[in-house]
């Protein structure tokens, strides 16, 4: 990891350790931890990591931002850090300056569509939008008669129907009805698939981070819990489960970081990046399901209680599977890509990385 990566991640991890301790948050039923955490992240410039200096951001590299998202996953951070980073990145594609405060992106599903009419107004509905209720602005990708545009919209201008994902974080439905944006500009060479791929890799890194935390928590618990006068880590069945969990965690991390590296070093979202990003979302989604089940099995009944922190990681990892395209969506789309390229192009595509 480069020195700049260390600075970004170390800064974020110190903030998370000080203000986002999972057990402290789990015991805080009023949510008083959120404001201090967001203030610290904002003062460090982390939510706008992917926004260039001249557009109001920190100007960090894509690699720095991806490493930050993985660290956020290891703490199961339940604030719109990833969403604001994605929104700032999306706005930067059209050279739109990012405002201060929480943001999220529309749409967050490949099946939803926002349209831009001739008068410059935005209309449409986006479902499963992460942290829409907490956002002050939306970064919107819109379809118009002249192609794709990117817009900045005040969140108060849309109708937000509250919803919750499996991790009890906001996953809302946003409806825009002839809403005039704060700014809107065309985005040449950009489409909704690109946004979904970028969001999918962000979620893959968060899932990989959550799995790392679940492995650490499970190993620690197995070395503390005693049954039949010995630590349960000494039982072969538990050792086997921990080895499987370690395998799922390693696979998710390898897939997610490989996709992040592909995007960070590519000049465009070509087929090679598509393969990496789609494969990462599929593999990390599978790992979230298998890894979460194993971690809870190691913990037994205590792992299912609301007092234990394990659910903060396992439920969010499961919830993140559906954002920016589910694993089944990307499996179908990846199959279409391979089929359209033809049998002779399969191995060159796989070997391109």
Residue 105's nearest CA partner among 124, 86, 122 is 86
Say if residue 4's pLDDT is above 70: no
Beta bridge partners of 161: 173
Task: Provide the whole-model pTM.
Answer: 0.95
CA distance 269 to 258: 14
- Give the model confidence (pLDDT) of 308-350 as tens digits: 999 999 999 999 999 999 999 999 999 999 999 998 888 888 8
State how beta strands 103-106 and 137-144 pair.
parallel
Which pLDDT score is estimated for 7? 86
pLDDT band at 2 (very low <50, low <70, confident <90, very high): very low
- Give the model confidence (pLDDT) of 181-235 as tens digits: 999 999 988 999 999 999 999 999 999 999 999 999 999 999 988 888 899 998 9
Which pLDDT score is estimated for 3? 42
Domains of the chain: 1-77 (no CATH), 102-189 (2.40.110.10), 192-350 (1.20.140.10)
Q: Where would I find the H helices in the chain?
A: 3-19, 22-27, 34-43, 62-74, 81-93, 192-222, 236-265, 271-299, 310-320, 327-341, 346-350
Would the CA dihedral through 90, 196, 319, 172 be positive or negative? Answer: positive
DSSP-derived letter for residue 342 is -
Which pLDDT score is estimated for 30? 87
């Amino acid at each position: 990891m480069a020195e700049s990566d260390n600075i970004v991640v170390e800064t974020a991890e110190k903030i998370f350790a000080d203000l986002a301790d999972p057990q402290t948050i789990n015991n805080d039923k009023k949510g008083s931890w959120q404001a201090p955490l967001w203030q610290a992240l904002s003062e460090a410039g982390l939510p706008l990591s992917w926004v260039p200096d001249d557009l109001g951001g920190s100007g960090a590299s894509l690699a720095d931002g991806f490493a930050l998202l993985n660290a956020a996953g290891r703490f199961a951070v339940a604030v719109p850090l990833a969403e604001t980073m994605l929104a700032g990145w999306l706005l930067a594609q059209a050279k739109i300056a990012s405002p201060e405060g929480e943001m999220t992106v529309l749409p967050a599903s490949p099946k939803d569509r926002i349209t831009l009419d001739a008068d410059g107004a935005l209309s449409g509905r986006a479902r499963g939008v992460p942290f829409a209720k907490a956002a002050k602005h939306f970064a919107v990708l819109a379809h118009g008669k002249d192609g794709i545009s990117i817009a900045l919209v005040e969140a108060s201008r849309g109708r937000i129907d509250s919803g919750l994902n499996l991790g009890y974080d906001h996953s809302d439905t946003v409806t825009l009805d002839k809403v005039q944006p704060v700014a809107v500009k065309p985005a040449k060479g950009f489409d909704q698939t690109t946004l979904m791929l970028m969001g999918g890799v962000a979620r893959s890194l968060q899932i990989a981070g959550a799995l790392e935390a679940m492995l650490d928590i499970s190993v620690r618990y197995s070395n503390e819990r005693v049954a039949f006068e010995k630590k349960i880590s000494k039982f072969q069945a538990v050792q086997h489960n921990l080895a499987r969990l370690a395998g799922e965690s390693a696979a998710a991390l390898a897939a997610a970081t490989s996709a992040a590296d592909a995007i960070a070093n590519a000049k465009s979202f070509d087929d090679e990046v598509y393969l990496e990003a789609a494969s990462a979302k599929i593999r990390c989604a599978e790992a979230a399901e298998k890894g979460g089940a194993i971690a809870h099995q190691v913990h037994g009944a205590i792992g299912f209680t609301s007092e234990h922190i394990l659910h903060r990681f396992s439920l969010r990892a499961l919830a993140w599977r559906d954002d920016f395209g589910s694993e089944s969506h990307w499996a179908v789309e990846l199959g279409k890509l391979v089929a359209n390229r033809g049998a002779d192009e399969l191995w060159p595509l796989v070997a391109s990385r």
